[in-house]
Amino acid sequence: MASFISAQELAQLVRDPTKTAGTDYLVVDVRDSDFAVGHIPGALNVPAHDMYAKAGSIIDAYSHVPLVVFHCMLSQQRGPKAARIYKETVDGRLKVAAPSDPLSAQTVRVLDRGFGGWVDSFLKTEPALISNFDQKKWDTL
């Protein structure tokens, strides 16, 4: 099982002007249509129900990224399950990969408390850490 990363730890990466989403870290948001209500800057939206089908293409595109963080709204079910599916796919590839494959150094984590916790942590203090936030739609979730 992937270990958790706190909102504060992830925010340090997102805030860091020397770090780039998709290069230094990758946030994979596995929520469905509620992604449009707001998300972590630079997050890749891959709905949880698509993870089996898309894990391989995510690995192809981001095998060079040292940290991949998964989350859903609360990171209790969909986020951890998506991280497990992704990690199992990575492990399968590593069985036949060269020892120098950068994928072998990749860490997979789950955002503690999910996007809901992220919003609780940063909406009032650092709204720039939430892209495309729609308060009216958020209130209906």
The residue-averaged pLDDT of 19-34 equals 97
Q: Could you give the CA distance from residue 86 to residue 95 in angstroms, rounded to a whole number? A: 15
* Integer CA distances (angstroms), 34 to 8, 37, 94, 136, 138, in order: 22, 5, 33, 12, 8
Angle at the Cα of 95 (from 94 to 96), degrees rounded to 5? 90
Q: What kind and span of H or E run contains 68?
A: strand 67-71
Query: What pLDDT is attached to residue 3?
Result: 96
The residue-averaged pLDDT of 82-108 equals 93
CB 105 within 8 A of CB 66: yes
CB 25 within 8 A of CB 45: no
Task: Name the token pair of 102.
Answer: 């950068």
Residue 57 has pLDDT above 90, yes or no: yes
The residue-averaged pLDDT of 81-102 equals 92
Report helix, strand or coil for 70. Answer: strand
Query: What pLDDT is attached to residue 29?
Result: 98
Query: What pLDDT is attached to residue 1?
Result: 74
- The per-residue pLDDT of the chain, averaged, comes to 96
CB 110 within 8 A of CB 80: yes
Query: What pLDDT is attached to residue 78?
Result: 97
Query: What pLDDT is attached to residue 99?
Result: 82
Angle at the Cα of 135 (from 132 to 138), degrees rounded to 5? 95
Residue 37 has pLDDT above 90, yes or no: yes
